[in-house]
Structure 1
Amino acid sequence: MTTVSAPPRASGKREGIGEFFLRAPAAGPALALVLAMVVFSLSTSRFLELDNLSLMVDQALVVGTLALGQTLIILTAGIDLSNASAMVLASLLMAKLFAGGTPGILALVIGIAVPLGLGLVIGSLVTRVKLPPFIVTLGFFTMLTAGDKLVAGGQAVPVAPGGPLTWLGTQRYLFGGIPVTYGMTVALLMYLVVWYALTRTAWGKHVYAVGDSAEAARLSGIKVGRTLVSVYAVAGVIFGVAAWQALGRIPNADPNAFQLGNLQSITAVVLGGTSLFGGRGSVLGTMMGALIVTVLQSGLSQLGVDSLYQDLATGALVIAAVAVDRIARRQR
């Protein structure tokens, strides 16, 4: 694969701040997260309490997992507007199958297999039919949103606690006082696995290369179509796990839940420094982006700020993040 190296710096010249953030896109979101936590810890009385910190991580769990799969797709210069709808469909199928007598493990496997199959179909339409990812996933978003309500029959499906479908909601206390759920542990493991795959394997190099320039990747011998289909398939599995996490948090599959999950996942990815134009970003940045949104909402809520102003602040951050990315690409 042909790579383009950065122009050499003059000997003895120190690396500038802008150049550092270009080389390490996750550094900016990490700094923003630290600054936000410092501001809210000084402004509120209970922001840094262990229970509140654990609650914020738990609130960011499902969207953070959706954002992990979204990151893979956006790195290839694509986008998935149907991820939250696919996740809700998976949770409904798990709940209905389990309520109908299907063993919990089998219901879980089927639920995860459904978004995997959807990912394969979307990836095939993007690669074989050459349809834009935005149009394909917009169509699937519309169909799945209607399908969720049809499957649920217009009402939520409760899940009996204690089974495998709610296992990720089990809480334990780390070091005797830090509340942690199994869902948090699974999310961290997924982030580590995807980070390793992107940074330490040939597949990860191919993902970045396709996002940077699909034509250049093809000319260098990379099977672009196969890489794209694999990305949508892996993302589908991640969306299925997000459905499992959602049932662990709230044992009730609701067809109206996470209606803005697709936009929230994109917000987390963008705030995390991943370029919407593909080829640049990291899962570490996405994790920071998901936490930034949750920290902002929690801190502003504790300050008594109306939720509408919270949405305004989040939207302004997204626009600023995209503007910074645009400037960074021009400098490159």
Structure 2
Amino acid sequence: MEATLPRRLISTPVAGPLAALVLACAFFALRTDQFLTGPNFSLIIQQVMVVGTLAIGQTLIILTAGIDLSNGAIMAFGGIVMTKLAVDSGLPPVLAIVAGLAVCSGFGLVNGLLVTRISLPPFIVTLGMLNVVFALTHIYSNEQTVTDLPPVLTFLGQTFQVGQTNVTYGSLLTILLFLLFAYLLGSTAWGRHVYALGNSPEVARLTGIRTRRLTIGVYTLAGFVYGIAALLLVSRTGVGDPQAGQTDNLDSITAVVLGGTSLFGGRGLVIGTLVGALIVGVFRNGLQLMGVPSIYQTLITGILVILAVAVDQLSRRRNR
């Protein structure tokens, strides 16, 4: 038993990404004194909490062998809905938040229905939805940033102190969401069904899983998570910005891939997605502290994504 435990740990999808994160932290800690501090780690978590939350929903969809290119746009629209209803329409902030969450869930539901009922590829569906929601965001907002938000909408951007470090409530919420979905995917029948759907939809159907309903539910739940990301974004920036989220869809996919989740579905852990988001955050933060231009940060991130997908592909071939 003792001999097999390390082997089991090494064989988990998150082992490689976690090792990469530790090595990256060690490298930047040696290169700059500012990296290995509580305030800097708090800053990294704040910087990745929005994309990390988006990546939770992206993980759910990728586990079913789908993909969502519209999540950043849905998040931006959700943020505009929340802020405009609260500021311009005078709706109570809590109801404005609920409306934003409902709208984001609705877009996820539409994605799921198009994928299942019309059998369109998820790539095409969400690419089209990306353009639709992007346009709706700019039409509804009149290209105007919404400011002077009520405190309820910015609460998650406030901080509490842990030792000498200020931590935002939004960062805490993001971590709790990762733990919640790690439990749902790892310890419930619903989670086992999601993995089964990603491994083989036909086999899952033959075992009695209602694959269409499950797929629609996954996309709808992912939309709800995008709504939470919208609230986190609004609380962090203090405004409703129609320009927000334009590259966050790709950043969320990057976090999922770097976290060891297979783009072919059925394999991966949501905790791995957290590690993947932290890898991106650590590299960008560390390179910035070292004075490396941002274009090289993008270059290195792209290389890491290609390597992660290559490793996944080689692993799949070896297991055949």
Q: TM-score range by the shorter chain?
A: over 0.9
Equivalent in 246, 271, 279 of residue 292 of structure 1: 279
Alpha-carbon distance in 1 for matches of 2:4, 2:212: 41
Any conservation in 2 of the 1:159–1:253 contact (CA below 8 Å)?
no
1:65 pairs with 2:48: no
CA drift of 1:257 comes to: 1.5
Structure 2 CA distance for aligned equivalents of residues 12 and 290 of structure 1: 31
Aligned positions of 1:6-45 closer than 5 A: 21=10, 23-45=11-33
Structure-1 separation of matches of 2:73 and 2:32: 36
Q: Aligned match of 2:114 in 125, 128, 149? A: 125
| Shift in alpha-carbon separation, 1:237–1:159, aligned structure 2, 3 A | farther
- C-alpha separation between the residues in 1 aligned to 2:120 and 2:142? 32
1:316 maps onto 2:316 in alignment: no
Is 1:270 the counterpart of 2:270? The answer is no
Query: Counterparts of 2:290 and 2:188 in 1: how far apart (Å)?
Result: 45
Q: Does 1:101 align with 2:90?
A: yes
Name the structure 1 match of 2:70.
82
Task: Mark the runs of 5 or more structure 2 residues left unpaired by the alignment.
Answer: none
1:58 match: secondary structure: helix
How far residue 59 of structure 1 moved from its aligned partner, in angstroms, is 0.3
Larger deviation, residues 140-149 vs 71-80: 140-149
Q: For residue 306 of structure 1, report the CA deviation from its aligned partner.
A: 1.0
CA 1:13–1:58 in 2, change beyond 3 Å: closer, same or farther? closer
Q: Deviations over 1:112-155 (max 9, x none)?
A: 00010111111011111111100000000011111111111112
> Using the alignment, how far apart are the partners of 1:251 and 1:52 within structure 2?
21
Q: Does 1:242 align with 2:251?
A: no
Structure 2: distance between partners of 1:298 and 1:311? 12
In the alignment, the residues of structure 1 paired with residue 216 and residue 253 of structure 2 have an alpha-carbon distance, to the nearest angstrom, of: 20
Find the aligned partners of 2:2 and 2:168 in 1 and give their Cα distance.
49
**Number of the residue aligned with 1:141:** 130
Aligned partner of 1:160 in structure 2 is 149
Which of 232, 239, 249 is matched with 2:219 structurally? 232
Q: CA deviation at 1:159?
A: 3.8
What is the CA deviation profile of residues 24-82 of structure 1, one whole-angstrom value per residue up to 9, with x for unaligned ones?
A: 10111111111000000100120012111111110000000000110000000000000
Indicate if the aligned counterparts of 1:268 and 1:293 stay in contact, CA closer than 8 A: yes
SS at match of 2:21: helix
Post-superposition shift, 1:169? Answer: 0.7
Alignment gaps of 5+ in structure 1: 1-10
CA distance in 1, matches of 2:183, 2:221: 14
Shift of 1:13: 8.6
Q: How many Å separate the matches in 2 of 1:40 and 1:12?
A: 34
Matched, 1:327 2:314: yes
> 1:95 touches 1:159 (CA, 8 Å); kept in 2?
no
Q: CA separation in 2, counterparts of 1:160 and 1:143?
A: 26
How far apart, in 2, do the equivalents of 1:156 and 1:266 lie?
A: 27
Opposite residue 204 of structure 2, the aligned amino acid is A
**For 2:161, what is the secondary structure of its paired residue?**
strand
Find the residue that maps to 1:243 and give its secondary structure. helix
Give the superposed CA RMSD.
Answer: 1.6
Residue type matched to 2:238 in 1?
P
Aligned length: 318
Matched, 1:211 2:198: yes
Q: Give the TM-score of the pair, scaled to structure 2.
A: 0.96
Q: Write the distance in 1 (CA, Å) between the matches of 2:144 and 2:96.
A: 19
> Which 4+ stretches in 1 moved above 2 angstroms?
11-17
What residue number does 1:280 align with? 267
Q: Deviations over 1:228-286 (max 9, x none)?
A: 01101111110000000001111111111221000000000000000000000001100
Identity of matched residues, %: 51
C-alpha change, 1:183 and 1:239, in structure 2 (3 Å) is same
Alpha-carbon offset, residue 178 of structure 1: 2.4
* 1:189-238 per-position Cα deviation (integer Å, ceiling 9, x unaligned): 11111111101111100000000010111111111101101101111110
- TM-score (ref. length: structure 1): 0.93
